[in-house]
């Protein structure tokens, strides 16, 4: 898979959802719509961790909500370590991690990877989280993680209130020295109506600031990813774009197949339902994980994305996700600017060589 001579390995990372409860109130987060904020039972999470290893997962991301508000998080980390997981990560807003002794306790329990959600600087960050003092805490969290030698990665959700600040965020991130930086375009998938127009920055507006940020980061940061943006807005920066088909080969992304095999153990008809509901059948020549990935990726692309007539003459038409349907509903498809050139059929044409070249 990928360019000629480039051999890609599939991701061995699985996500474990700890619950939807959180100690900040990010204005763009769709979890606020969930009526239930109960934590998932630890017995269920331990079973999911066991199944993940059974299905070949080697790395795990604990996500939420906010994992650090669980009192039993150290127990979950230790359980993952004892099962033999390599990277044991929490995706966090950093508020609890501002306490150095707490981070040290998590590290002794097995934590060796932290993915911090850094969505702005100073006042912007605190407006988005709706918690005063939250930016100071996440900065202290990053310092604590680095001081203890824990791998640091970052997520930045790109929204209307922060897109012009992206180059400044990039400068801030350089000081933190994360191993990987992810920019995630906010898209109105499951978000409440009140969030959609207020939070959704257009691709045209955001792309120049994303490119400036990449220019700042690329000489130092080992891996940079921009998720959920059509290729035509990132010409010259294609290797940084991660669409749905790419996720299978990105070590920082989650395995669709592993997650669905886990969920299928609790709901045996899940995969069959996905196949029938979306009208997507697996290729008989593929192994089980490849068949599941084919079904899930195909169904997601069909159900969440749309392409315009102008896309038909773009060299990326076969490999681009296109526009999210919620985004297209808000802004239409008038931004599409097809890129001329020979049609590309290999979706890993540049992403594959980039990921391979950035391996430690």
User: What local confidence, expressed as pLDDT, does residue 297 receive?
Assistant: 66
Does the residue 20 lie in any domain?
yes
In a domain, 30, yes or no: yes
Give me the number of domains the chain comprises: 1
Percent of the chain residues past pLDDT 90, beyond the cut: 64
Q: Can you tell me the distance from the alpha carbon of 289 to that of 132, in angstroms, rounded to the nearest whole number?
A: 45
Each residue's pLDDT tens digit, 228-259: 999 999 999 999 999 888 888 899 999 888 88
Please provide residue 104's backbone torsions phi and psi, each rounded to the nearest 5 degrees.
Answer: -60, -40
Taking the C-alpha atoms of residue 273 and residue 278, their distance in angstroms, rounded to an integer, is 8
Tell me 23's DSSP state: S
| Radius of gyration, alpha carbons of the chain | 20
Strand pairing category for 59-63 and 13-17: parallel
Quick one: which of 101, 77, 335 has its CA closest to 207? Answer: 335
Indicate whether 155 belongs to any domain: yes
Range with lowest mean pLDDT among 3-17, 35-49, 140-154: 3-17
pLDDT above 70 for 9: yes
- Which of residues 247 and 146 earns the better pLDDT score? 146
Please report how many Cα atoms fall inside a 13 Å half-sphere around the Cα of residue 307, on the Cβ side. 20
Residue 263 has what pLDDT? 83
Distance separating alpha carbons of residues 353 and 215, to the nearest angstrom: 19
CATH of the domain at 86: 3.20.20.70
Query: Integer distance in angstroms from the first to the last C-alpha of the chain?
Result: 20
Residue 350 lies in a domain: no
pLDDT bin (cut points 50, 70, 90) of residue 76 is: very high
- What is residue 3's predicted lDDT score, i.e. its pLDDT? 46
Q: What is the pLDDT of residue 272?
A: 54
The yes-or-no verdict on residue 288 having pLDDT over 90 is: no
Calculate the average pLDDT of the chain: 87
Are 8 and 245 in contact by the 8 Å Cβ rule? The answer is: no
pLDDT at 289: 67
Would you say 230 and 323 are in contact if contact means Cβ atoms under 8 Å apart? Answer: yes
Range of the domain at 108: 13-257
pTM for this entry: 0.90
Residue 173: inside a domain, yes or no? Answer: yes
Q: Is residue 91 part of a domain?
A: yes
């Amino acid at each position: 898979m990928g360019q000629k001579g480039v051999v890609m390995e599939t991701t061995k990372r699985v996500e474990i959802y700890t619950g939807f409860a959180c100690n900040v109130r990010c204005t763009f987060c769709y979890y606020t719509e969930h009526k239930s904020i109960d934590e998932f039972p630890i017995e269920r999470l331990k079973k999911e961790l066991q199944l993940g290893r059974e299905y070949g997962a080697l790395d795990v991301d604990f996500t939420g909500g906010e994992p650090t508000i669980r009192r039993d998080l150290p127990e979950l980390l230790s359980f993952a370590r004892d099962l033999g997981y390599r990277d044991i990560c929490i995706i966090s807003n950093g508020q609890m991690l501002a306490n150095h002794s707490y981070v040290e306790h998590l590290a002794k329990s097995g934590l060796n990877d932290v993915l911090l959600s850094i969505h702005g600087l100073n006042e912007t960050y605190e407006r988005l989280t709706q918690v005063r003092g939250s930016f100071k805490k996440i900065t202290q969290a990053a310092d604590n993680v680095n001081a203890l030698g824990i791998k640091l990665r970052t997520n930045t959700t790109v929204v209307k209130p922060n897109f012009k600040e992206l180059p400044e965020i990039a400068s801030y991130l350089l000081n933190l020295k994360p191993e990987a930086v992810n920019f995630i375009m906010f898209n109105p998938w499951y978000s409440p109506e009140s969030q959609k127009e207020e939070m959704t920055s257009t691709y045209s507006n955001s792309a120049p600031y994303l490119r400036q940020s990449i220019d700042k980061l690329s000489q130092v940061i080992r891996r940079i990813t921009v998720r959920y943006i059509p290729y035509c807005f990132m010409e010259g920066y294609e290797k940084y774009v991660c669409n749905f088909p790419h996720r299978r080969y990105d070590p920082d992304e989650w395995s669709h197949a592993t997650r669905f095999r886990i969920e299928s153990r609790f709901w045996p008809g899940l995969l069959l339902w996905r196949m029938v509901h979306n009208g997507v059948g697996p290729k008989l020549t593929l192994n089980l994980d490849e068949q599941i990935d084919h079904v899930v990726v195909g169904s997601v692309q069909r159900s969440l994305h749309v392409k315009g007539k102008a896309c038909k003459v773009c060299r990326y038409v076969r490999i681009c996700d296109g526009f999210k349907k919620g985004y297209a509903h808000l802004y239409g498809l008038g931004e599409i600017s097809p890129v001329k050139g020979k049609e590309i059929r290999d979706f890993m044409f540049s992403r594959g060589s980039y990921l391979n070249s950035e391996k430690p």
